[in-house]
Amino acid sequence: MAETMFLFWGSGSPPCWRIMIALEEKKLQGYEQKLLSFEKMEHKSSEIMAINPRGQLPCFRHGDTILNESFGACLYLENQFKSQGTQLIPDTGDEQALVYQRMHEVLTLHEKLGTISGACIALGPGSYIAGKNFTMADVMLFPQVAFAVRFGLSTDKYPKLMEYYMKVKERPSIQASWPPHWKESPPTLDVLKDV
Ligand SMILES: N[C@@H](CCC(=O)N[C@@H](CS)C(=O)NCC(=O)O)C(=O)O
């Protein structure tokens, strides 16, 4: 099944990373993929503009179905492969409501990284962002947190968030999809050190 999937992605991009984590969690390894360079403006190439006129990554295709929004692609994967791999959206009303709530709060976080403290408030000791299990809300949140850490978020100020980061970082899906250029080069910017 994964052979009919294709992902265009950029290293270190939280939206791209979300889809990669979801693919790993849903046991869809073996999908076709192409790593593009933002630096070389490959996301504005005719190859990408033809699929995504916004000229952004990720671009995801499954057969003839194209999804260029990370939330859409992740939800699509969960719905199409519900009984495969990790269940990322719980069945019961209360649990599902919390996962949806947290997922959409990540959008606010993306717009305004300063609200990162909001994520800290939601984290109980040893828990994931929507309770005791890893869910779609973590798929959405983790790349954003890792991005903030990479760009110098003051880790001393956010002990609960760091505990979450250190725990989730070890998950096989996260390790398998860790941005390749982060492995090779140390952080060079600390623009978030005062956040
Ligand atoms: N809403 C999109 C956002 C995609 C997005 O912002 N991609 C960035 C990389 S993180 C991008 O391609 N930026 C290049 C540009 O906008 O020209 C999603 O969640 O998939």
Burial class, 95, CB count within 10 angstroms (exposed 0-12 / middle 13-18 / buried 19+) = middle
Contact 43 CB / ligand 1 (< 6 Å) = yes
Q: Which residue pairs from 41-48 have beta carbons closer than 8 angstroms and sit at least 24 positions apart in sequence?
A: 43/10, 47/8, 48/8
Whether 93-184 and 2-80 are alike in CATH topology: the answer is: no
Distance, in Å, from the CA atom of 58 to the CA atom of 61, rounded to the nearest integer, reads 10
Residue 51 CA to ligand 1 center (angstroms) comes to 14
How far is Cα 98 from Cα 53, in angstroms, rounded to an integer? 33
Q: How many helices (H) and strands (E) does the chain have?
A: 9, 4
Contact criterion met (CB below 8 Å) for 43 and 10: yes
Probe target for ligand 1 pocket from 51, 56, 103, 140, with the most ligand atoms within 8 Å of CB: 56
Return the pLDDT at 175: 97
> What is each CA distance from 127 to 5, 75, 86, in whole angstroms?
32, 22, 17
Nearest CA to ligand 1 atom 17: 56
DSSP state of 90: -
| Per-residue confidence (pLDDT) for residue 114, from 0 to 100 | 46
Domain spans of the chain?
Answer: 2-80, 93-184
Phi, then psi, of 64 in degrees rounded to 5: -95, 0
In CATH terms, 93-184 corresponds, of 3.40.605.10, 4.10.80.400, 3.40.640.10, 1.20.1050.10, to: 1.20.1050.10
What is the pTM for the complete model shown?
Answer: 0.88
C-alpha 37 – ligand 1 centre gap (Å): 13
CATH of 2-80, one of 3.30.420.40, 3.40.30.10, 3.40.1190.20, 3.30.1490.20: 3.40.30.10
Q: Starting from the edge strand earliest in sequence, which strands make up the sheet with 5-10, in order? A: 32-36, 5-10, 59-62, 65-67
Q: Is the CB of 106 under 6 A from ligand 1?
A: no
Cα 120–chain centre separation: 18
pLDDT mean by block of 10 residues, the chain; 195 residues: 92 96 97 96 96 96 96 97 97 95 82 55 72 94 92 85 93 97 81 72
Task: Calculate how far, in angstroms, residue 139's C-alpha sits from the geometric centre of ligand 1.
Answer: 16
pLDDT of residue 125: 62
